[in-house]
Each structure stands twice: as C-alpha cells, then as structure tokens.
Structure 1
Amino acid sequence: MKPLIALISAASLLAATAVLARDLSVDEARQLHEAGAVLSIEALSAAALAQHPGGALEDQELEEEYGRYVYQAEIRDQNGGQWDLELDARTGQVLKNHRDD
C-alpha cells in the first residue's frame, strides 16, 4: 500500500509543478504587453543583452511561473561563453544571470 501512496504523491507533485510554470505564446506575450502587464520582447531582449555587451541572443521565451511572468534568455558572449538569464518580465529586473557550463 505504501508504494501506491508514494506513486500517487509523486504524480500529484509532478502535475502541480506542470501547472505552476508554462510557456506563453507570441500572441499571449503581445496581449500582455498591450495590457501593460509585461515589457515588450524587444525591451526584454535588449535588457538581457546589456548584461553581456557584444553577445548574441540564442534563445528566448516568456513563461508564467508561480503567477509571475519571467523572460528567459540564452546568450553567447564574445568569448563563446553561454549564459542563462531570467528577467522579471514586468520590470526587466535581472533575477538570474549565470554561466552555463
């Protein structure tokens, strides 16, 4: 009986996590920007790139995490280093900026 309870608990936790974070479509991002809930993707991209001048944006996405909008970006710096960044999509504040080894 205990393995069954553990399995159900694990499945419930996984389902809850999936609901707490989701990728937003381009249309959703545009609507949120027009409503004033988030900065534009262009402004967020510029803020991310400002953290690594001369770098190149390799990937980006807007997510809703725990009721908060987060812009995630991957940047390749001038020396070839890969960086993972997260910005608060409403304010542009850098939440995470670490080198991806």
Structure 2
Amino acid sequence: MKQLFSSAIRLIRFLLISVIITSPVRAEDVNHSEARTLRESGKILPLETILEKSKAFRQGEAIDTELERDNGMLVYEIEVLDDQGRVWELEFDATNGDLLELELDD
C-alpha cells in the first residue's frame, strides 16, 4: 500500500511539473490608471520616448501600442506598419527603453 501511495505521489508531481512547464506564459495588459501612475512616478519612460526610439529600428506608422507586464517586466509593445505593408512588432523595456525583440508579424 505504501509503495502504491508513493507511486501516486510521483505521478502527481510529474503531472504538475508537466503542466507548469508546458503552460504558456501570457503577458498581462497594464490598465491606463496604473500606466499613468508608473509614468508619473518615473518607473517607466513616456510612450512618446519609446515611439521615437522605435523609429531607429523600423520606419513606418505606429498602428498599435500596449504596455504589458511580461514575466514581471514592464514592456512596451509597438506595432509598426512599414512602406511595404508589413507589420513589425517591437518590444521595449519600459523602464529603460532597451529593445528586447524585433520581429515581423505574420
């Protein structure tokens, strides 16, 4: 009986770890009120600063912007439509403006 119980515990642990490892990490949008508070406190850069920085990486029209909490990090996500009609997604660290990711959106 003790061996059966021990096997069941190992199986449960394995299943829990599998769920944790395979679960996608999702970014959580920051609402307008919190974004304003973060900006006013100096914890994040203004969106205008990030939009200017984005031009150094991809020219075009910013068609969407979001401030998200991603893995505990505050991230600006900017979508830029270029002259060829392609949409680029740029992610910046909201606290210092560093480019984190640049990819062509499918």
TM bucket by the smaller chain?
Answer: 0.7 to 0.9
The RMSD of aligned alpha carbons is 2.4
Distance 2:105 2:20 in 1: 31
How do residues 46-85 of structure 1 correspond to structure 2 at under 5 angstroms? 46-53=52-59, 55-85=60-90
Q: Which runs of 5+ in 2 are unaligned?
A: 1-7
What is aligned with 1:89? 94
Secondary structure in structure 2 of the residue aligned to 1:36: coil
Shift of 1:49: 2.9
Higher gyration radius (CA): 2
What is aligned with 1:41? 47
Q: Which runs of 5+ in 1 are unaligned?
A: none
Secondary structure in structure 1 of the residue aligned to 2:64: strand
Structure 1 residues 10 and 58: CA distance shift in structure 2, 3 A: farther
Structure 1 residues 78 and 31: CA distance shift in structure 2, 3 A: same
Report whether the alignment pairs 1:22 with 2:28: yes
Paired positions, count? 97
Distance 1:36 1:91 in 2: 10
Distance 1:65 1:96 in 2: 13
